Structure 1
Amino acid sequence: MTEPLRVLLADDQTLVRTGFRLILRADGIDVVAEATNGAEAVEAARRTRPDVVLMDVRMPEMDGLEATRRILTGARDTPASSS
């Protein structure tokens, strides 16, 4: 049996995150973390190493574009952990 897809949700609107979480979980997708801004998303991605990040572009503190850049840079600089 394959492992479920692991997703990080990043959106400053609670209702949007809740809606995506309900839809994704109904399809058997594991939501491993949620973030309300780009800085939280970067930290959550570092901590949880999701397969997919569903990122809003416009968020406070750090926008989704900058957060995505930082997540991708960190992913290249960190060796993949073996399971």
Structure 2
Amino acid sequence: MYGCSAPFALLMGIGMWSLPPSPRWLILKAVQGKASLQEYKEKAIIALSKLRGRTPCDEASEKQIEDTLTSVKSAYMEQESEGNVG
């Protein structure tokens, strides 16, 4: 039973290597201060464009990344303020 599903799992594992990083993950790393915001914002736009099958740096991808950046910043700041004791 497991032997029948192993080839499919192997194909999925190999296929995952071609996927770009998650745009939201890239934005989160930048918001956390682990990377340059502008650099990772550009990488997120390119990754989103690739995932959506659009041309790089189109208006829709940029707007979506800006919206994501705003929501991630607010969620991260809210989480940071909840974690402070005092």
* TM-score, structure 1 as length reference: 0.31
More helix by share: 2
Q: Which has the higher contact order (CA 8 A, sep 6+)?
A: 1
Q: Which structure carries more strand by proportion?
A: 1
